[in-house]
């Protein structure tokens, strides 16, 4: 179900707070942007994961602007962002013990917790589900902004639906300029991949989307036996994080993940007259770049968190290169590697 509503052109304001020293009181730019959100408009802002597009989570009309600007399907619910932990009770009908434990350990931070909802937020935020996704971000600009707005802020990633999430303000401008009220510019997002989404409504915690907080970190708090295996989730008929069923992040040329030798795959494609892009780690550049029309370096293989931080920027670069096919190497699904591979697999999936 695609939201067909037309987006009328808006003059998108820009507030640059890149130089704000968080030891100082928050600048007037954040106050203005917060006011904009509390008046019911949609404003993009940096978080420690990716840039978000925020609006008043209690208001149907405000939330509607998010769906319209992004072209987001209405059955894909949004995460509600809070500035203080005390706001959580106001959104949930009950907060399970495991959710409290995870919040104690990882909030503020890149972790989203699914809990049973009450009726405080717009039905459009939860897309008709009986649960609500809540996250307390760590980024000082995000927290100051949410606190200035003084309300729970619904915020998906601030990209055009289907494109990689924005890790720089310029990505937001590229996707949403003229469609939203404003952009708070605050430098590059740190993790570069979205938060880990954990369903806390059942017996065991279920990771619906791997992200900045790793499975290893979750099990260290809850115990191995209290975190469901990913395999159990995959066997279910209906995806429990509705967003995960959609195609995401995909460059316009087909992206092919190659576990073995990329040069063989590249040689074969070139033999068929195709132009080839290769995405690989720095250590493989010398060996591979002769086979590529465009080589995109993902970073050092020993710095997987840097690879994660730059992945979406690199996927956007790949999208802009006009090659016929892109081959990308794979990573071990350990630690942040699980989230990196999840996003690469989504980008590579054809449906």
Name the binder of 79 from Mg ion, ligand TXA, none, CB < 5-8 A by kind: ligand TXA
Nearer residue to ligand TXA within complex by CB, 96 or 156: 156
Residue with tokens 């704000």: 20
Q: Name, in order, each residue with C-beta under 8 angstroms of 270's C-beta and a sequence gap of 6 or more.
A: 276, 291
> Which residues lie near ligand TXA (CB under 6 A)?
47, 49-50, 52, 76-79, 110, 112, 114, 126, 129, 131-133, 135, 155-157, 194-195, 197, 208-209, 240-244
Q: Which is nearer to ligand TXA, 329 or 338 (CB)?
A: 338
Select 25 or 239, whichever has its Cβ closest to Mg ion.
239
Smallest gap from residue 153 Cβ to ligand TXA (A): 10
CB closer to ligand TXA out of 53 and 262: 53
Q: Which does 129 bind (CB under 5 to 8 A by kind): ligand TXA, Mg ion, none?
A: ligand TXA
**Residue 210 or 299 having the CB closest to ligand TXA:** 210
Q: Tell me the C-alpha distance between 148 and 325, whole Å.
A: 46
> Least distance from C-beta 81 to ligand TXA, angstroms?
6
| Minimal CB distance residue for Mg ion | 157
**Least distance between ligand TXA and beta carbon 280 (Å):** 26
Q: Of 298, 316, 317, 318, nearest to 308 (Cα)?
A: 298
Closer of 243 and 251 to ligand TXA (Cβ): 243
Contact pattern for Mg ion over residues 218 through 257, marking x by CB under 5 A: ----------------------------------------
Measured from the CB of residue 327, what is the shortest distance to ligand TXA in angstroms? 27
- Binder of Mg ion out of 157, 167, 185, 196 (CB under 5 A): 157
Contact between residue 81 and residue 53 where contact means Cβ atoms under 8 Å apart:
no
In the list ligand TXA, Mg ion, none, the entry touching 208 (Cβ below 5 to 8 angstroms by class) is ligand TXA
Minimum distance from residue 294 beta carbon to ligand TXA (Å): 28
Among Mg ion, ligand TXA, none, the one that 314 touches (CB under a kind-dependent 5 to 8 A) is none
- Applying CB under 5 A, the residues found at the interface with Mg ion are 157
């Amino acid at each position: 179900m695609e939201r067909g509503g037309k987006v009328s052109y808006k003059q998108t304001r820009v507030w640059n707070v890149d130089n704000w020293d968080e030891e100082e009181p928050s600048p007037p730019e954040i106050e203005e942007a917060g006011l904009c959100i509390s008046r019911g408009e949609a404003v993009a802002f940096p978080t420690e994961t990716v840039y978000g597009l925020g609006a008043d989570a209690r208001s149907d009309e405000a939330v509607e602007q998010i769906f319209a600007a992004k072209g987001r399907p209405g059955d894909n619910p949004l995460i509600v962002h809070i500035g203080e932990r005390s706001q959580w009770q106001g959104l949930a009908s009950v907060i399970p013990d495991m959710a409290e434990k995870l919040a104690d350990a990882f909030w503020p931070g890149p972790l989203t917790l699914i809990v049973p909802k009450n009726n405080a937020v717009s039905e459009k935020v939860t897309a008709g589900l009986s649960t609500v996704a809540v996250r307390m971000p760590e980024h000082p600009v995000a927290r100051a902004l949410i606190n200035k707005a003084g309300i729970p802020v619904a915020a998906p990633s601030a990209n055009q639906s289907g494109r990689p999430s924005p890790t720089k303000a310029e990505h937001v401008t590229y996707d949403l300029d003229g469609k939203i009220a404003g952009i708070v510019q605050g430098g590059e997002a740190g993790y570069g991949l979205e938060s880990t989404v954990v369903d806390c409504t059942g017996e065991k915690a279920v990771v619906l989307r791997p992200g900045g907080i790793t499975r290893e970190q979750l099990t260290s708090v809850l115990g191995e036996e209290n975190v469901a295996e990913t395999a159990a989730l995959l066997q279910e008929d209906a995806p429990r994080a509705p967003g995960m069923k959609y195609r995401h992040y995909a460059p316009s040329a087909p992206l092919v993940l190659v576990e073995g030798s990329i040069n063989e795959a590249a040689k074969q494609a070139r033999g068929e007259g195709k132009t080839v892009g290769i995405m690989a780690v720095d250590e493989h550049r010398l060996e591979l770049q002769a086979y590529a029309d465009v080589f995109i370096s993902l970073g050092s293989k020993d710095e997987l968190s840097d690879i994660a931080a730059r992945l979406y920027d690199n996927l956007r670069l790949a999208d802009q290169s006009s090659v016929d096919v892109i081959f990308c190497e794979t990573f071990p699904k350990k630690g942040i590697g699980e989230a990196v591979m999840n996003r690469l697999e989504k980008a590579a999936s054809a449906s």
